[in-house]
Amino acid sequence: MKATTDINPQLVKQLREKTNAGMMDCKRALAEAGGDLEKAETILRSKGIAGASKKASRATREGIVASYIHLQGKVGVLVEVNCETDFVAKNENFRAFVKDITLHVAAAHPLYVSRDDVPGKIIEIERAIYAAQVKDKPATVVNKIVDGKLDKFYSTVCLLEQGFIKNPDQTINDLVKSKIAELGENIVVRRFTRYLVGEPLPAEA
């Protein structure tokens, strides 16, 4: 079996495009399949991971709100995670997953759930900064460099794109997809709030 670090990134990309599975799920499947793309796709389908994205359009009207207090009351987190049924909302595995999300938010301090939530004004400012940093580069590569830097920015401030604190090689989005496959329902991290004692309020910032 190949190690995940030895897997061709192009194969990972092809498998993700075919199955919509998470990057680490694709890497593990390819490693298990010895680099065989078709076998890896079969592995993902047998585990239900490849079909996780098909559940993404399902309504999520159930779920829970979970809290976490850290550093003897210095950091507090509230997170709402939705699922399809009350049955899954009461599932211990689902609740453990939500708890992991609260721990991650406390430790990693994301600012938004996804890149779709980042205000356009913020994106414009970041683009301008990155463009200024590479203004001496050839015009043909500036946009590519800026886009790459912007992707890095998203991976820093967007919850779903951050590496999971318990497994940095797996993004939160990949973790969500794995839980969708495991529990058989659509799961959505809807919103979160993180408080830090003494931090400036928005009007004061």
Q: Vertex 161, ends 157 and 164: CA angle to 5°?
A: 100
- Quick check: 29 pLDDT over 90? no
What gap in Å lies between CA 189 and CA 173, rounded to an integer?
9
Q: What is the pLDDT of residues 40-56, one digit of tens each?
A: 888 887 766 655 555 65
| Whole-number average pLDDT of the chain | 88
pLDDT value for 20: 66
pLDDT value for 38: 87
Those residues whose C-beta lies under 8 Å from the C-beta of residue 15, and which sit 6 or more positions away, are 21, 26, 29, 30, 37, 40, 41, 44
How does DSSP classify residue 117?
A: G
Those residues whose C-beta lies under 8 Å from the C-beta of residue 107, and which sit 6 or more positions away, are 70, 165
What gap in Å lies between CA 58 and CA 84, rounded to an integer?
8
- Architecture category of domain 55-115+158-196 in CATH: 2-Layer Sandwich (3.30)
Q: Where are the domains of the chain?
A: 4-50, 55-115+158-196, 119-156
- Quick check: 18 pLDDT over 70? yes
The CATH fold of domain 4-50: Helicase, Ruva Protein; domain 3 (1.10.8)
pLDDT value for 84: 93
> Two tokens at 77?
């987190």
To the question of pTM greater than 0.75 for the whole model, the response is: no
Mean pLDDT of 184-191: 93
> Two tokens at 1?
């079996």
